[in-house]
Structure 1
Amino acid sequence: MFLGAQSFESKKKCFFTTKYQIYVVNNLPPNSPVLSAHCRSKNDDLGTHTMASGQTYNFNFCENFFLTTLFTCNLRWRGKDKTFPAFNSKWIDSPCDMTGDCYWFAKEDGIYFSDQNPPKRLEKHYDW
């Protein structure tokens, strides 16, 4: 886990479904303004969390076997604002399926993704 991690821990056990862990990592320059992250699904609003450079916010959930599981996250930093799907069970060959982990890194030029634990190769998915 990353230094300064904040988490929403689900006490439920996942029966017949996969448990996923989503990480939002502030990989912005040191001494820059805090990153604000607000993640939610149709049924769960996880609230707004602020992170200094180098900090991580994470949460986990059990995929709903009968319904689409969709979590979106909105990141804000220095007047930039980006909402994106952090997890969608309708994704074909979900990149999170191999490990159950999804890592989203906020960088100066956009939002990057890794499905490796620990994260190694980052792919840019979104511009701010």
Structure 2
Amino acid sequence: MHFSSTPKITYGTEWNVTITNGIQDDAIDVHIKSTHHDLGTHNIPANMAYSWTFFEKIIGTKITGDFSEGSRFQSLALVDREIMDHCRNHEVNNVGKLCFWLVKPDGFYLSSTNAPFPNDWVKKKSW
């Protein structure tokens, strides 16, 4: 009997997204999901980060996050066309498709370079 293995074919551009907890002395929880996948809830301690990789779909990639910290809660798009365009348009040396989120006490900031705050960080939403 002969078995053949067919490699998994993935279409689209590979992206890496990182969420960093910039809230001193407190962890945050984030539930990350897309239309087709649930990446689960992740606890990110102070000054630590969580990263994941995905492949951009030709039609409409959207990934959201539900954040909680203490009694605060906020939902926001972590990946959508506008966010990918921002990160794509601010690439440094064409390194790749990278988006960085920084959660601060006053809100959620986006960057494509992960430069020291506040350089290259754009506030996208408040708590």
Which residue number in structure 1 is paired with residue 51 of structure 2? 58
Q: Deviations over 1:18-65 (max 9, x none)?
A: 111111110111x22x10011110011000000110111111111111
Counterpart AA for 2:85: S
Query: What is the deviation of 1:123?
Result: 1.5
Counterpart AA for 2:109: Y
Cα gap change, 1:44/1:93 in structure 2, threshold over 3 Å: closer, same or farther? closer
Counterpart AA for 2:101: W
Query: What is the deviation of 1:92?
Result: 8.3
Which residue number in structure 1 is paired with residue 115 of structure 2? 119
The TM-score with structure 2 as length reference comes to: 0.78
- For 1:21 and 1:96, the matched residues in 2 are separated by 11
The TM-score with structure 1 as length reference comes to: 0.78
1:32-71 to structure 2, matched below 5 A, reads 32=26, 34-65=27-58, 67-71=59-63
Asked if 1:19 corresponds to 2:11, the answer is no
- For 2:53 and 2:47, the matched residues in 1 are separated by 20
* Aligned residues of 1:73 and 1:85 also touching (Cα < 8 A): yes
How many residues were matched structurally?
111
- Normalized per residue, which structure has more helix? 2
Q: Could you tell me which runs of 5 or more consecutive residues in structure 2 were left unpaired when the two chains were aligned.
A: 1-7
* Aligned residues of 2:84 and 2:99 also touching (Cα < 8 A): no
Query: What is the deviation of 1:93?
Result: 7.0
* Aligned residues of 2:33 and 2:64 also touching (Cα < 8 A): yes
Cα gap change, 1:92/1:71 in structure 2, threshold over 3 Å: closer, same or farther? closer
Q: Secondary structure, in 3 states, of the residue corresponding to 2:86?
A: coil
Counterpart AA for 1:124: K
* Aligned residues of 1:40 and 1:47 also touching (Cα < 8 A): yes
Cα gap change, 1:102/1:93 in structure 2, threshold over 3 Å: closer, same or farther? closer
Larger Rg over CA atoms: 2
Give RMSD over aligned pairs: 1.9
- For 2:41 and 2:85, the matched residues in 1 are separated by 26
